[in-house]
Amino acid sequence: MVPTVEWKDGAVRLLDQSRLPGTVEFLDCRDYQTVAEAIRTLKVRGAPAIGVTAAMGVALGAQSINAMNYSSFAPAVIKICDELAATRPTAVNLFWAIERMRRKLESLQAQPVSAIKQALLKESQAVLEEDIDLCKTMGRHGANLISDGETILTHCNAGSLATAGYGTALGVIRSAWEQGKKINVIADETRPVLQGSRLTAWELMQDQIPVTLITDNMAGSLMRQGKIHLCIVGADRIAANGDVANKIGTYSVAVLAKAHNIPFYVAAPYSTIDLKTKSGADIPIEQRNPLEVTTIHGSHPVAPLNVAVYNPAFDVTPAELITAIITERGVFQPGELSVQFQST
């Protein structure tokens, strides 16, 4: 698997996902502002990957702060945290990772600045390594829900590209494949940014996992024909009641799955569960540039000039449409989350 994000030669190196599948190109971020812009412009995307990247962005920014003591160093780091937190409002992993870096900073008040800088860098690396490990554990839990010979529908990209490695929804699929199950994947193209066609199809083909690409409006027809056996998607935020925010179009897939008695699973790490948010109605939904809808990649117009556009990046799938939520800590019913995770 091509690394999505890593620390390399004093920089945060990102696989530029805006260039896929045509070009495999890396972006070396040498200041935190470049990291923030990469998150904002979808050069890195996927809730877990955004979280890891933000943690590394905090560590990167800290290295360039010229301060002799904690009292002058800490406010500068907090400013970096705030700027990174403002990049995308929906993916809760972003805020989780930044808060973790804040707590690490606060725990080091008695240390010299040079030691704090190194500790923050080490903490960001731990966030990355933990993400890979938990995705593999999540994959093993979820693979038990997939039978040999089944065809799985997925929406958007929740694979190694959306994480530090291995993936959430695609991690479950990847784990089932590694177990020798002869499975097939159907990937929604995922308009308007085409994460399914550009990223999911590319990623699965790299691993030689059978994948078929469809347009977003084909899923219901295939379900009716019995050609889809289950659905697995990722998540950008999961509310305490089990409502799930994920890429726009996920709700439609869940409604179709319910109508055809097909299991609909969500795979996401614990850090995506936001117990402070009571329900999906409280999840902020990012509104993005109309050009994503009216053009292909910012050029090649596909709509009339100046047409009104509504472009939410995410929608919310109610808990009652979700069969189960797969985490690194096991598989749970949506209504069990507040009980299972309230003490952690």
Mean pLDDT, range 67-80, rounded to an integer = 97
CA distance 167 to 173: 9
Mean pLDDT, range 106-111, rounded to an integer = 97
Q: Assess whether the previous peptide bond of 21 is cis (omega < 30° from 0).
A: yes
- Using pLDDT thresholds of 50, 70 and 90, give the confidence band for residue 18: very high
**pLDDT number for residue 339:** 78
Domain that holds residue 58: 5-136
**pLDDT number for residue 312:** 98
- Using pLDDT thresholds of 50, 70 and 90, give the confidence band for residue 270: very high
Residues 202 and 321 in one domain: yes
Single out the residue of 181, 107, 196 nearest to residue 148, CA to CA: 181
CA distance 265 to 253: 11
Residues 71 and 210 in one domain: no
What are the two backbone dihedrals, phi and then psi, of residue 8, each rounded to the nearest 5 degrees?
-145, 120
Single out the residue of 326, 186, 177, 211 nearest to residue 265, CA to CA: 326
Q: HSE (CB half, 13 Å, CA atoms) of 75? A: 5
- Using pLDDT thresholds of 50, 70 and 90, give the confidence band for residue 340: confident
**pLDDT number for residue 82:** 98
pLDDT tens, position by position, 1-16: 778 999 999 999 999 9
Residues 165 and 281 in one domain: yes
CA distance 89 to 79: 17
CA distance 61 to 70: 15
Residues 114 and 196 in one domain: no
**pLDDT number for residue 341:** 76
Residue at which a domain ends, from 107, 136, 165: 136
Positions marked catalytic: 236
Residues 26 and 174 in one domain: no
Q: Is the pLDDT of residue 26 over 80?
A: yes
Specify the higher pLDDT residue, 342 or 298. Answer: 298
Residues 184 and 283 in one domain: yes
Hey, is 16 helix, strand or coil? coil
151-154: strand order across its sheet: 211-214, 184-188, 151-154, 230-233, 264-267, 324-327, 330-332
Token pair recorded at residue 22: 């045509």
What is the C-alpha end-to-end distance of the chain, expressed in Å?
Answer: 31
**pLDDT number for residue 298:** 81
Domain count, the chain: 2
Mean pLDDT, range 110-116, rounded to an integer = 97
**pLDDT number for residue 338:** 82
Residue at which a domain ends, from 120, 136, 152: 136
Q: What is the CATH number of the domain that holds 38?
A: 1.20.120.420
Mean pLDDT, range 166-171, rounded to an integer = 97
Specify the higher pLDDT residue, 1 or 154. Answer: 154
pLDDT over 90, % of the chain:
95
Mean pLDDT, range 170-177, rounded to an integer = 98
Single out the residue of 268, 247, 229 nearest to residue 188, CA to CA: 247
**pLDDT number for residue 10:** 95
Q: Is the pLDDT of residue 344 over 60?
A: no
| Whole-number average pLDDT of the chain | 96
Helix axes 47-63 and 32-40, enclosed angle (nearest 10): 160
Give me the sign of the Cα torsion angle 228, 207, 44, 141: positive
Residues 165 and 277 in one domain: yes
- Amino acid identity at 262: I
Residues 79 and 218 in one domain: no
**pLDDT number for residue 305:** 93
- Using pLDDT thresholds of 50, 70 and 90, give the confidence band for residue 203: very high
pLDDT tens, position by position, 216-239: 999 999 999 999 999 999 999 999
Q: What is the 3-state secondary structure (H, E, C) of 273-340?
A: EECCCCCHHHCCCCECCCHHHHEECCEEECCCCCCCCCCECEEEECHHHCCEEEECCEEECHHHHHHH
Residues 199 and 300 in one domain: yes
pLDDT over 70, % of the chain:
99
Q: Give, for 316, the enclosing helix (H) or strand (E).
A: strand 314-317
Q: Is the pLDDT of residue 343 over 60?
A: no
Residues 147 and 240 in one domain: yes
CA distance 157 to 182: 21
Q: What is the CATH number of the domain that holds 252?
A: 3.40.50.10470
Residue at which a domain ends, from 136, 161, 196: 136
Q: Which residue has the tokens 């797969």?
A: 326
Residues 201 and 157 in one domain: yes
**pLDDT number for residue 238:** 97
pLDDT tens, position by position, 311-323: 999 999 999 999 9
